[in-house]
A and B are shown apart, each in its own frame.
Chain A
Amino acid sequence: MDIELVDPIMIAIPVFVILVIAELIYARTTGKASFEPKDSAASLVMGLGNTVSGVVLGFIAAAWFLLIARFGVLNIGYVWWAWILCFVADDFIYYWSHRWAHTVRWFWADHVVHHSSQHYNLTTALRQPWFSVFTLKFMWLGSILILIGFPPGMVAFVGGLNLIYQFWIHTEAIGKMPRWFEAVMNTPSHHRVHHATNPRYLDRNYAGVFIVWDKMFGTFEEERADEACRYGIVRNLGTYNPLVISLHEWWGIAKDVAGSKSPKDALGYIFAPPGWSPDGSRLTSKKIKALWAERQAAGADDTGANNAEEPAPVPAE
């Protein structure tokens, strides 16, 4: 038996709007956050377009989930403990999905949209892709929980809660949360690191709700007081045009594939990490980090100290 569940994101939208207004006022009065009208407009239009495309995608996803629900190994109903288990399991899957969104160019082409702002405020949370349907991620990632036996409605609901949680962490207005909270949960501080392009911070903190996944799988990085985050992407766009924001990486893949010299190269351009090229002339995140670490080590040798390994974390509030 399935039950009727509301879409939590639709209920949360008015709260999102109120919080954006509050952060705008906070930015104006304290100078501790920044908003730029063109950037805000681009992010909000991207968010609206994502909602529209989500309606289309929603029908496909719902049909798919209902189709595969009959093949669930277990028959887990709407019991109280299943909600908790489903929420945690969904966040675990989110971690891996998000990690691959940064390390497989096909998925990055979709996710890059969210990282394309050089600002970090609550509107950035709403800057979401229009063409997620290209990736078909939901077909296999969203299916796992349903194939285990969680009801499709429950899976969709906890997925919505996960996204709602991630809204408030897109802000510079909050420094650090209490230590116990920072240890377990994803926070504005952890997620600022995720949005930063500093080599030290690049491709770190993939968590959705629980930061423990990053700590478990070696992708955690603490925000440091002595290294401010530089937001955006390695090659910033310099445009606020939503269509360019949406399609630039897909277009880049198409051009690279069209110009590739072999099927192997073409596959590399599609599925290798962003920045991969057959001759190694471009820089992947891994290469950027290695190059940076090399320089840090060389600098440390010159000065006789190695500051790179001594974190200076932002003090807890």
Chain B
Amino acid sequence: MTTLYILLGSGIAISLLVALNVWLGGWTPSRIGSLEVAIARLQDDHLVFTPGEGLLARDSLSALVLDTQSPRIGVVAARGAGFVTRLVPRDGFKSVEARDDGSLSLTFRGDTMRPVTVDTGDAQTAHDWAARIEALET
């Protein structure tokens, strides 16, 4: 019973600390300021990355950049106050779906990366990038 009380108390203490964090703030949700920022981030995280053509989402929450040295696409996603990047080959994408509202939905295979929705701005761009991903050599 004592253990249960300790666990309950710990759970309440954690909730209060997180609530305090929410109330105080002290962090800024990340946004990708420009395509150059996305490229810099990819180059920092993946030394073997050579940037080609890229796309910055309209909401600045994600970006896609082609790697000119290998059949992979650099994906940058804003997550909380930071960024998560991946260099993804064709078989690293579990699904690629271009929608008519201009969004491009990406899910990843065998990875801790959560799904990314890229707001490309128009249906044609979304379909073009989906085709690029589908066309990556395996």
Contact = CB atoms under 8 A, between A and B. Distances in A.
Interface of A: 17, 20-21, 24-25, 27-28, 31, 33-41, 44-45, 48, 51-52, 118-119, 123, 197-199, 230, 232, 234-240, 244, 248, 255, 283, 288, 291-292, 295
Contacts of A236: 45, 79, 82-85
Contact of A44 (B14, B26, B79): B14
A291 B22 CA distance: 41
Contacts of B113: 238
Given A21-B20, A37-B18, A244-B112, A119 B81 contact: yes
- Which 6 pairs of residues, A with B, have the shortest CB-CB distance? A238-B84, A27-B26, A118-B82, A28-B26, A28-B24, A44-B14
A199 B47 contact: yes
B17 A292 contact: no
B33 interface: no
Nearest to B28: A34
Contacts of A232: 82
B5 interface: no
A21 B17 contact: yes
A238 B82 CA distance: 9
Given A27-B26, A28-B25, A45-B14, A238 B20 contact: no
Contacts of B83: 236
With a 10 A CB-CB cut-off, give which of B27, B83, B110 has the most chain A CB atoms.
B27
A255 B110 CA distance: 9
A34 B26 contact: yes
B118 interface: no
